[in-house]
Amino acid sequence: MMYDRILIRYGEISTKGRNRNKFIDKLRRSVRKAIEDFPKARVQSDRDRMYVLLNGEDGIKVSERLKNVFGIQSFSPAVKVEKDITIMKAAALELFKRLYSDGKTFKITGKRSDKKFELDTNEINYEFGGHLLTNIPGLKVDVKNPDINLQIEVREEAAYLSAETIRGAAGLPVGSSGKAMLMLSGGIDSPVAGYLSMKRGIEVEGVHFASPPFTSERAKQKVVDLTKKLSEVSGQMVLHVVPFTEIQQMIHKQVPENYTMTTTRRLMLRVTDRLREKNGGLAIITGESLGQVASQTIESMYAINEVTNTPILRPLITTDKTEIMDIAAKIDTLEISNLPYEDCCTVFVPSSPKTKPKLEKVQHYESFFDFEPLIEKAVNETETIVVKPIMEQQIEEDLF
């Protein structure tokens, strides 16, 4: 038996009123992107539901992809069968047995839009329920809270059977909330911050500061790999790699050691803001979590944030490290983040950074040098890469 289609339920976008069509459109695009290496599959949508018509593509593999698409509340793979009661019964039993194990309860939810079909809704429930009960000893009905809800929908062209409701990633379709720049280090936190922002519909572009030759090509590759992971959600992701060496060296010349960290962050933010403007973003995202390190005290944030009015989104601000690591493990970035390559900030890290820097002081130290031309230069020399996910299907094709 092969799945014929997958029924997708929208979830939160159904509450978006007038924007509904826009949301459905974005979701359809995300779904298409997520399954673009299944060329025979087609995506159809109406106000309440979306369908992936599989046309022979593997329903289980396609389902795996749909689990990562934001904006999907739940989905159900369905089998299409001829509207013949004997055939339908056999198919229902086969589908049911795949999910059944001892002690599970069930109910049948019949539906028919073909009013000429010989059984009405109640009769469908009764006939098919009876068929399962006779064939599976010990099976019990539970209409209120069944473990398995076998749905039988009789339409004009055929009958559809589905028994599984798979939870989607929820959230909002990527791109439905505008664009923001994610300050992406090679660490654990920032990829998680990016993922959570994508979950609320933000289109994310990465900005990474590299300081060659103090940071290596492998450190950069690590960030490209993290971007690749994140791009699985959106289909592709842009990454800007900023050459930061010159600015960092100048900071160390100009600013007393215990303030270099604050100035470094301020300059990273200024460069990111410039890139944001250039690329049509509306906010900046960081992986900061309150109190985690010296640069992440509220006093530090106050001194650093002063360089821009752009909204800074900090999805992890109140999250503990263990919670962040749990998400990183779930989205598969933890292992990459744990690779031991040096980051530009660790290379230049002062021995005792100020945990409570004073804004007037940092302004004073920075006032002796005009960083503007260096910022300009860094922005102009930024390398922009479009990163695409590695699709499982492609790997298989490459192998054979």
Q: CB-wise, 176 or 296, nearer to Mg ion?
A: 296
Of 176, 232, 196, 170, the residue nearest 8 (C-alpha): 170
Q: How far apart are CA 205 and CA 273, in angstroms?
A: 12
Q: CB-wise, 207 or 255, nearer to ligand ATP?
A: 207
Q: CB-wise, 185 or 197, nearer to Mg ion?
A: 185
Site residue total, ligand ATP (CB under 6 A): 20
Half-sphere exposure of 159 (CA within 13 A, CB side): 28
| C-alpha distances out from residue 300 to 75, 186, 294, 295, 339, Å | 45, 21, 7, 5, 28
The stretch near ligand ATP (CB under 6 A) out of 87-95, 151-159, 280-288, 360-368 is: 280-288
**Cβ at position 251, least distance to ligand ATP in Å:** 14
User: Which two tokens mark 394?
Assistant: 């492609």
Q: State whether the Cα torsion 250-221-349-181 is positive or negative.
A: positive
208 is in an annotated binding site: yes
Ranked by CB distance to ligand ATP, the top (closest) residue is 187
Q: How far apart are CA 328 and CA 195, in angstroms?
A: 9
Q: CB-wise, 162 or 296, nearer to ligand ATP?
A: 296
Q: Which amino acid is at 325?
A: M
Find out whether 235 and 267 touch, Cβ atoms under 8 Å: no
Find out whether 41 and 33 touch, Cβ atoms under 8 Å: no
Task: Give the footprint of Mg ion on this chain (CB under 5 A).
Answer: 185, 187
The stretch near ligand ATP (CB under 6 A) out of 105-113, 128-136, 288-296, 387-395 is: 288-296
- Binds ligand ATP by CB under 6 A, chosen from 26, 208, 266, 274: 208
Of 274, 278, 268, the residue nearest 209 (C-alpha): 268
- Binds ligand ATP by CB under 6 A, chosen from 181, 230, 275, 345: 345
Find out whether 372 and 246 touch, Cβ atoms under 8 Å: no
Position 190 contacts ligand ATP (CB under 6 A):
yes
Q: CB-wise, 1 or 347, nearer to Mg ion?
A: 347
Out of Mg ion, ligand ATP, none, what residue 204 binds, judged by CB under 5 to 8 A for its kind, is none
The stretch near ligand ATP (CB under 6 A) out of 9-17, 30-38, 181-189, 299-307 is: 181-189
* Contacts of residue 271, Cβ cutoff 8 Å, sequence gap at least 6: 207, 209, 242, 244, 247, 375, 378, 379
Q: CB-wise, 190 or 234, nearer to ligand ATP?
A: 190
Position 53 contacts ligand ATP (CB under 6 A):
no
**Cβ at position 271, least distance to ligand ATP in Å:** 10
Out of ligand ATP, Mg ion, none, what residue 188 binds, judged by CB under 5 to 8 A for its kind, is ligand ATP
Out of ligand ATP, Mg ion, none, what residue 344 binds, judged by CB under 5 to 8 A for its kind, is ligand ATP
The stretch near ligand ATP (CB under 6 A) out of 99-107, 155-163, 300-308, 338-346 is: 338-346
- Binds ligand ATP by CB under 6 A, chosen from 43, 183, 303, 331: 183
Position 185 contacts ligand ATP (CB under 6 A):
yes
129 is in an annotated binding site: no
* Contacts of residue 240, Cβ cutoff 8 Å, sequence gap at least 6: 181, 205, 206, 207, 208, 275, 279, 382, 383, 384, 385
For 52, the enclosing helix (H) or strand (E) is strand 49-53
183 is in an annotated binding site: yes
Q: CB-wise, 189 or 366, nearer to ligand ATP?
A: 189
* Burial of 234 per CB tally in 10 Å (0-12, 13-18, 19+): buried
- Compute, in degrees rounded to 10, the torsion defined by CA atoms 23, 33, 229, 305: -40
What is the number of other CB atoms lying within 10 angstroms of the CB of residue 248? 21
Residues engaged in binding ligand ATP (CB under 6 A): 183-185, 187-190, 207-209, 286-288, 292-293, 295-296, 343-345
Q: Which residues are annotated as a binding site for ATP?
A: 183-184, 208-209, 265, 287, 296
Annotated binding site: 183-184, 208-209, 265, 287, 296
